Amino acid sequence: MVFLGLRLAEGGLTRPHEAGVGVCPSKIWGSSAAEAESLRCGGWTADAKVGTLGPSVNPALGVDGVFVMVGASVTAVLESHDPATGALVGSVPLTVPEDLPALMSRARQAQAAWAALSLEERREQILRAAPLFAERAASMGSLLSSEMGKPVREAVGEVRSCGAGLEADLDEMVQALTPEVLEDGRTRTVLYRDPLGVCAAITPWNFPVAMPHWLVIPALMAGNAVLLKPSEETPLCGQAYADVLCEVLPPGLLQVVHGADELGRALVASDVDLIAFTGSRDAGAHILGAASTALKRVILELGGKDPLIVLADADVDQAAKFAVRNSFRNAGQVCVSTERIYVHESLADAFEEAVVARASQWVQGPGTQEGVQVGPMVNARQRDHVVNQIDSAVAAGARVLHGGDGHEGNFVVPTVLSGLDHSMDILNTETFGPVACIVRVGSDDEAVRLANDTPYGLGAVVFGSDPDRAAAVARRLEAGMVGINRGVGGAAGSPWVGAKQSGFGFHSGRDGHRQFAQARIISSHQSSPGA
């Protein structure tokens, strides 16, 4: 399907009847030519023309059957295709850089009123979106699976989690942002955490609903307006996510802009106050450099090359189970996927056998098919990158224990490699694909040295039976998040944080939420008792 977005003379793209986003959204108002003959959109009155949508409309997007063309010119569109089949899933209108000043002006107008609300008032407005995510989990999950390739069960779960955890997340943010009173007997200081202004949230394609959620909600709760730029690989998912929130938020507070690198650079260079980004290390470095000229606030979650260390006393079966799942989940397209496995040589044979046995059970296919566990790469470029890494490693002497060839279309067959060393690109450059890379080591010291031999430092995992030994190894790893006999995610309230070149700032948890706000103190003389 093709959505036609229109750019008005005043600048910006209109959302009929509620103007909640910066482009013509996935919900198009109007049900007949007569109703749409003339309408007012976001404060503009314009003549309208009506056209009928084609049969390829995805019902998950809630289109009413008519699109409205408003104003002078139709924009170019950004098409989105199913990575498993190549079929067109839908399209959105591109936002051009020239539209950003008008969108920014609108965001600042909306932000002023939003910032004047109390934390509880913001919480109550945002919380109204929770049941909407639950109601649309199946339709949005189906869209996500078609657009990105993720198995549909995981896709539905991703959407559902946004609603299920929203109340607890908002409560945590209220607590994190509530003013604190500090007194030392002479001075009374109130520490406020005030809005920064307008936040640019630039999000990736691998979790195209959860990643916007992780950045947009804390930015809003801190009193900011948000310009959301979802990945050009998954624009429909980003738009569908924003549509839910725009139903409960004031117009203009959350706006979506669609485009690729040119728009991203223009957004970073625009008059935003905070840039929150999740994506590659190279893109993050560019954003940090571009933002530095105006000293803009930046929160960057970047790539990883996560190691798994399997100690000599580890439970082989449990370690193998984790290794396979964390290497193949979401086709390896997870920032904290296991990309390097260092296993003690005393149990390496048994571990490799267990990994191969489990890997052979994983079912690959289009994510929209029930029972599929491994979908496609998001696009041909990513598929070629992963296959080239595999082929290069094999040419350099790596052994293929499972998979390794037979890749068709955008699919990469889940692969297990052994006999690797750090001269190979696959142990140095982020893979982001379904490949388990096994390296044998002779000691804990060797495992730690190799695990830390990387510019990345997002996550790491240690498997071992002796808690003290495993904890000692974990404390030596140069990662922001380390799991022992489990994944890297922490308890409720923990930040999501990368070390080294995997992050600049962080988000989630009390301290992460505070990075979306400006700390400000107001101090006065403290009255003495009885004075």
> How many angstroms separate the CA atoms of 296 and 199, rounded?
10
Q: Where are the alpha helices (DSSP H) in 419-466?
A: 444-451
> How many angstroms separate the CA atoms of 366 and 356, rounded?
22
What burial class does residue 286 get, using C-beta atoms within 10 Å of its C-beta: 0-12 exposed, 13-18 middle, 19+ buried?
A: middle
**Residue positions annotated with a catalytic role:** 301, 335
314 CB contacts (<8 Å, ≥6 apart)? Answer: 344, 347, 463, 464, 465
> Residue 17 is inside which H or E element, if any?
none
> Residue 32 is inside which H or E element, if any?
none
483 CB contacts (<8 Å, ≥6 apart)? Answer: 459, 460, 461, 462, 489
Q: What is each CA distance from 453 to 314, 458, 459, in whole angstroms?
A: 23, 13, 14
| 212 conformational bin, left if phi > 0, alpha if psi -120 to 50, beta if neither | alpha
Q: Which among 433, 484, 419, 476 is positioned nearest to 451, based on CA atoms?
A: 476
What is the amino acid identity at position 112? A
Q: For residue 18, how many other CB atoms are within 10 A of its CB?
A: 18
Q: Is 344 helix (H, G, I), strand (E, B) or coil?
A: strand
What burial class does residue 120 get, using C-beta atoms within 10 Å of its C-beta: 0-12 exposed, 13-18 middle, 19+ buried?
A: exposed
What burial class does residue 281 get, using C-beta atoms within 10 Å of its C-beta: 0-12 exposed, 13-18 middle, 19+ buried?
A: buried
Matching residue, tokens 């916007």: 212
Burial readout 492-514 (b: 16 or more C-beta within 10 A, e: otherwise): eeebbbbbbbbbbbbbbbeebbb
289 CB contacts (<8 Å, ≥6 apart)? Answer: none
Q: What is each CA distance from 57 to 66, 72, 142, 316, in whole angstroms?
A: 11, 25, 13, 49
